[in-house]
A and B are shown apart, each in its own frame.
Chain A
Amino acid sequence: MTDQSPYDLEALGVSKNFGSFSAVKEVSFDIPSGSFFSILGPSGCGKTTLMRMIAGFEEPSGGDIRIKGKSVLGTPPNRRNVKMVFQHLALFPMMNVYENIAYGLRCNGASSAEIKRKVHDVLERIALPDVAEREIHQLSGGQKQRIAIARCMVLDPDVLLLDEPLGALDLKLREAMKIELKLLQHQFNTTFVYITHDQSEALVMSDNVAIMNQGEFEQIGTPQELYHHPKTAFVAGFVGDSNRWSGVVKASDSTGGRVETEQGLPMSFSSAGEAAIQEGSKVNIFVRPEFIKTVRANDAGQQADIGDNRRDGSVDSLLFNGANSRILVRTGSGELVEADVTLTGDNDLKPGEDVHLVWSAKQAMCFAEQGNA
């Protein structure tokens, strides 16, 4: 049986140690062909090391990396069919666009007619047919980006690695490139592995996202799963914004329970982690701002039946950001709670107003505190 592996890239317990420091610890994952996979994590979590191992610039200290089902351990970087878009793109400044793209083909010993056809073909596909003779410094940031991708894609790689390539772009261009990258991935139908610390990049573009922290994968899942059903407190805190409370469990059953927060206030939750939470254990509760409903204190009568949890307070400040506007509410016990609000420009909340914040127990994600099991 020599059937084609359904996975373009597999990692089996990959580790990397630098001296006594382990940058990557026993990471395993598999990426189905033609999907967009992101590795999301804070800086220094080992994601770049992981990517460099896939590309072949570092040898793993343990585990196996397979591309199209074949182990690539010991294969030098230039013999792996894994291409990489570098953080600062690493386009060759002494060559023009045509030569940059032709470089890899020349290394493979392609004939000049074939090189010409392929280069123009790939430039056509990235919608930059006329830039072949330009010098690299004459290109805009977004064009450089696309040339860097084209330079890899012209070689028909099994996997394309992208190491935070949008980091150097300004915000507007970054937003546009996110969509463009996703479209390019569809068009080429190649597996993209995207490394980033920017969660919105990962969430918008990916089919699957792995959250990495301190050299380990915390969770792998679709963006929706990670956002709505995080398995660990780190994922809940890292993906999206959250209000966070610490407390001690007072009552618990298999589906949820009640907690007394450090401020001494009760809060009901539904358990989010895998194991049921023991009574008396210390927990962290995460509530996303968009699930907190803000009701004016003088709009009485309707707030009682909305949610399981309630805080009273006054608007401390208003963070206006168009559709993503948010208020900071200072509650009676002195904590600051963030809540999303819709501002219509007409009779909006103002700082100093008294409000009730209400949310459902279903939206209160509870995790046992680490090291307290």
Chain B
Amino acid sequence: MQNKDIKRLSLILLFAPFALWIILLIMLPHIGMVILSLKEKVAPRVYQYSFANYLEFINEPIYWNTLLRTGSMSLLVTALALLIGFPIAYYIAKIAGPRSRGGLFLLCLIPLWVSDLIRAFGWILLLRETGVISNFLLWTGLVGAPVEFLYNDVAVIIGLTYTVILFMIVPLVSTLDGMDNSMIEAGYNLGGNGFTVLRRIIVPYAMPGIVAGCIVTFMLTAGSYLTPILLGGKNSSWFTEQIYNQFITRFNWEGGAAFGMLLLLFTSLVIWLGLKLSGQTLANTEAKS
């Protein structure tokens, strides 16, 4: 009897921080946002419930264009992160020796020690008109005048891919690490060439890691603020910028809350669609053995 009580107590104690975190920091703000987003200012300090904020989003093409643009560019960044991250993860998990593996993994983590701002600033130093790359091109004579690499979509995509690729590599390394080397050898032994082994054995095996990595990467990208603003400048038209504008510049909290909810719904929808189209489920993010 007493034993049972202790078990229950320890469960409650262990669960409490998690529950507090979920309730106070995730659920409460979102409930508040939903309520806020459904209010409409009809006169100073007078509000009434309506869908006006959502209707404004639909009626103003710039808003939903920005959202679609953010979504498609985030998908592109996710795809790039997967394409670049997969070989890196494969090298770390399968090809590198056991000793260099830890070092390589640490190297991947190092950028995380530096703040987002500094990393973005690093890209600015490289890409701006008077930056390293521009000067180098001038020096080699390839271009006649300084080139501005900043403030365009390419710069935003490069910066974002660089920021989020780690979150693709980590889950990939851990799933690939769990893969028995003999499975790859069996793939060759049974007559597969490098491409078939990759397509039919390695990728399906790594699918849980790929799904997890893609979800995290996409969410982080679509919700990022600093990198698109700094590298894309005023033209970046990232949806988070619209939210920021509503909250801070226009002091329209109701509109901002509505946009926040829309971003959440939109990214959730994209992920749901992605899972449906690739035939995966969220439960699949756990590795089979």
Across-interface contacts of B201 in A (CB, < 8 A)? 92
Please judge, given known A-B contacts A103-B200, A137-B288, whether A84 and B186 are in contact too, CB under 8 Å.
yes
Give per-residue flags for B274-289: 1 if the beta carbon is below 8 A from chain A beta carbons, else 0: 0000000000000011
Whether a CB of chain B sits under 8 angstroms from the CB of A189 is no
Indicate the member of A56, A78, A84, A95 with the most B CB atoms within 10 Å.
Answer: A78
Closest residue of chain B to A101 (Cβ to Cβ) is: B190
CB distance from A35 to the nearest CB of B (A): 21
Across-interface contacts of A69 in B (CB, < 8 A)? none
Please judge, given known A-B contacts A90-B180, A94-B288, A103-B200, whether A84 and B205 are in contact too, CB under 8 Å.
no
Q: How far is the CA of A56 from the CA of B188 in the complex (A)?
A: 10
Q: How far is the CA of A152 from the CA of B190 in the complex (A)?
A: 7
Across-interface contacts of B205 in A (CB, < 8 A)? 92-94
Q: How far is the CA of A77 from the CA of B205 in the complex (A)?
A: 21
Whether a CB of chain B sits under 8 angstroms from the CB of A134 is no
Contact residue among B186, B191, B288 (Cβ-Cβ distance under 8 Å from A108):
B191
Q: How far is the CA of A76 from the CA of B289 in the complex (A)?
A: 28
Across-interface contacts of A112 in B (CB, < 8 A)? none
CB distance from A291 to the nearest CB of B (A): 42
Whether a CB of chain A sits under 8 angstroms from the CB of B207 is yes
Contact residue among B182, B190, B207, B288 (Cβ-Cβ distance under 8 Å from A88):
B182
Interface residues of B in 187-234 (CB under 8 A from A): 187-193, 196, 200-201, 204-205, 207
Contact residue among B180, B191, B200, B204 (Cβ-Cβ distance under 8 Å from A78):
B191
Whether a CB of chain B sits under 8 angstroms from the CB of A86 is yes
Across-interface contacts of A55 in B (CB, < 8 A)? 185, 189
Chain A: interface residue total (CB-CB under 8 A)? 26
Q: How far is the CA of A83 from the CA of B183 in the complex (A)?
A: 13
Q: How far is the CA of A158 from the CA of B201 in the complex (A)?
A: 24
Closest residue of chain B to A152 (Cβ to Cβ) is: B190
Across-interface contacts of A103 in B (CB, < 8 A)? 187, 190, 192, 200
Give per-residue flags for B149-189: 1 if the beta carbon is below 8 A from chain A beta carbons, else 0: 00000000000000000000000000000001011011111
Instruction: Tell me if A107 and B196 are in contact (CB < 8 A).
Output: yes
CB distance from B5 to the nearest CB of A (A): 37
Whether a CB of chain B sits under 8 angstroms from the CB of A370 is no
Whether a CB of chain B sits under 8 angstroms from the CB of A197 is no
Whether a CB of chain B sits under 8 angstroms from the CB of A138 is no
Instruction: Tell me if A78 and B288 are in contact (CB < 8 A).
Output: no
Contact residue among A78, A92, A94 (Cβ-Cβ distance under 8 Å from B189):
A78
Whether a CB of chain B sits under 8 angstroms from the CB of A57 is yes
Q: How far is the CA of A151 from the CA of B205 in the complex (A)?
A: 19
Q: How far is the CA of A87 from the CA of B192 in the complex (A)?
A: 20
Across-interface contacts of B180 in A (CB, < 8 A)? 88, 90
Closest residue of chain A to B206 (Cβ to Cβ) is: A94
Across-interface contacts of B288 in A (CB, < 8 A)? 93-94, 137
Whether a CB of chain B sits under 8 angstroms from the CB of A104 is yes
Whether a CB of chain B sits under 8 angstroms from the CB of A23 is no
Instruction: Tell me if A93 and B191 are in contact (CB < 8 A).
Output: no
Q: How far is the CA of A197 from the CA of B183 in the complex (A)?
A: 23
Q: How far is the CA of A66 from the CA of B180 in the complex (A)?
A: 29
Across-interface contacts of B191 in A (CB, < 8 A)? 78, 104, 107-108, 155
Instruction: Tell me if B182 and A104 are in contact (CB < 8 A).
Output: no
Instruction: Tell me if A78 and B192 are in contact (CB < 8 A).
Output: yes
Q: How far is the CA of A104 from the CA of B192 in the complex (A)?
A: 7
Q: How far is the CA of A335 from the CA of B276 in the complex (A)?
A: 74
Instruction: Tell me if B186 and A94 are in contact (CB < 8 A).
Output: no
Closest residue of chain A to B186 (Cβ to Cβ) is: A90
CB distance from A152 to the nearest CB of B (A): 7
Q: How far is the CA of A273 from the CA of B288 in the complex (A)?
A: 54
Question: Interface on A for B, CB 8 Å cutoff?
Answer: 55-57, 76-78, 82-84, 86-88, 90, 92-95, 103-104, 106-108, 137, 151-152, 155
What are 20 A-B interface contacts by the 8 Å CB criterion?
A56-B189, A57-B188, A76-B188, A78-B191, A78-B192, A82-B189, A83-B189, A84-B185, A84-B186, A86-B185, A88-B180, A90-B183, A92-B201, A93-B205, A93-B289, A103-B192, A106-B200, A107-B191, A108-B191, A137-B288
Q: A56-B189, A106-B200 are in contact. List 7 more A-B contacts (CB 8 A).
A: A55-B189, A57-B185, A84-B186, A93-B205, A107-B193, A107-B196, A155-B191
Q: Which 8 A-B pairs have the closest CB atoms?
A: A104-B190, A107-B191, A90-B186, A90-B182, A86-B182, A94-B204, A77-B188, A107-B192
